[in-house]
Structure 1
Amino acid sequence: MLHTERLLLRPFDSTDIPDTQASCSDSLIQQWLPLPRPYTMKDATSWCMNVASALRESGDGIHFAVTDSPTGRLVGTVGLKKTDWRARTSEVGYWVSPWGRGNGIAAEATRAVARWLLTDQQFQRLELRAATGNTASQNVAIRTGFHREGILRNAGFVHTGRVDLVLFSLLPEDSAVTVMHSGG
């Protein structure tokens, strides 16, 4: 579990199923993530109860339910994937529930995971990839302190087809990580 000023990042559990289903059915999330369409209660149950923990156990990454500390309600997710333990690199991804948008949740949760990965776990590189048309996700990367590296042509896919991705990275020596580590 990871804590921020407003959020608790914890493993998914059965209480997250309804909010996961509602969030992953949202048109904006469906626009940028190739999730099942329609996203059913069965899909949400599978993610919350099996898939998220299986990804952690396989070593591929770890996916946190991002919850509002006072209420405990799911407001999004942040997770690591494509983890290379030998190279000490991983990729971060996230989505925010419709009822949580516009409050800096993605940036706050991503900062918490980045701090944990790059300082506590001593990883050497964290990547973030966002579709070129997904300006909200790119803004999260910039607000979190990631550096824009370039365009990965035809590297992603969404329901409408292939998309170019903007590649961002964060390294342990980056000033954003130093600030995060010192409590800022």
Structure 2
Amino acid sequence: MFPPAKIVTGSLELREFGPQDETPIAAFLAAGDRTALPPVCPATAAELPGWLAETVHRHRLDGGGVHLVMLESSTGEIVGSIGLRDTDWEAGSCEIGYMVRADRRGRGYATEAARAVGCWALTEGGMRRVQLHARTGNVASLRAAEKAGFQHEGTLRMAEWEDEAAHDLAVLSMIVTDLEAAGTAR
């Protein structure tokens, strides 16, 4: 089980999604904009109350991962989401993923959030390894991960099938010794 997460960085507050997020998420769904939402977010506003009140928390409590909202500290506005999934407690590893609203990209939010959540997972979260998979052509995501301190490990060739095509995935990771080398371990 992951502990509750509330992480405050220079320009972001990262916390678990909750009932207070229903109205802005419903507005995103109504506008057809899922860019700030995790892939597991319900597709309709009618499903949001149950997801926000129970499903999000059960995922953390069951040890599967966490779904965190990225809030801009100065405005409290949702700018994206970040989460941990595919947790293997025996190996001490999980995968990180993030999404930033299209109109908020290029401001360093993904880098800031990935660094903070990666560090949290490796300290308070009890992980030894946090990994990230991104399409090799997703230059912005790869750049954000590298700036956040994730190290490029290699490429999984033809590892993802989407839109009737196979895609290569870059593999990056952050491990406990990376934090120690950077002087950010607790």
Q: TM-score range by the shorter chain?
A: 0.7 to 0.9
- In structure 1, the partner of 2:134 is 130
SS at match of 2:176: coil
Q: Does 1:3 align with 2:8?
A: yes
What is the distance in 2 between the residues matched to 1:46 and 1:136? 33
Q: Provide the alpha-carbon RMSD of the alignment.
A: 3.0
- SS of residue matched to 1:130: strand
SS, match of residue 5 in structure 1 = coil
| Equivalent position to 2:98, from 91, 94, 99 | 94
- Unaligned stretches of 5+ in structure 2? 1-5
Superposed, 1:112-127 pairs within 5 Å as 112-127=116-131
- Aligned twin of 1:165: 169
TM-score, normalised by the number of residues in structure 1: 0.80
Q: Secondary structure at the match of 2:177?
A: coil
| Counterpart contact for 2:119–2:179, Cα < 8 Å | no
Distance 1:69 1:16 in 2: 15
Q: Give the TM-score normalised by the residue count of structure 2.
A: 0.80
SS at match of 1:169: strand
1:84 to partner: Cα distance = 0.9
2:22 matches 1:17: yes
Q: 1:116 to 1:35 in 2, by over 3 A?
A: closer
Deviating above 4 A after TM superposition, structure 1's stretches of 4 or more consecutive aligned residues are: 33-36, 42-47
* 124-133 or 51-60: bigger deviation: 51-60
Following superposition, the deviation at residue 135 of structure 1 comes to 1.2
2:159 maps to 1:155: yes
1:11-160 equivalences under 5 Å are 11-20=16-25, 22=28, 25-26=32-33, 29=35, 39-42=43-46, 47-160=51-164
Of all paired residues, the percent bearing the same amino acid is 34
Tell whether the 8 Å contact from 1:118 to 1:177 is kept in structure 2 after alignment: no
Distance 1:2 1:177, change over 3 A: farther
Shift of 1:40: 3.8
Distance 1:94 1:177 in 2: 25
Structure 1 pair 120–13 and aligned structure 2 pair: CA distance change class (3 A): closer
Instruction: Give the count of matched residue pairs.
Output: 178
Q: What whole-Å deviation, never above 9, does each CA across 1:119-164 have from its counterpart, x for those lacking one?
A: 2334211101101221111111111111111111232244454422
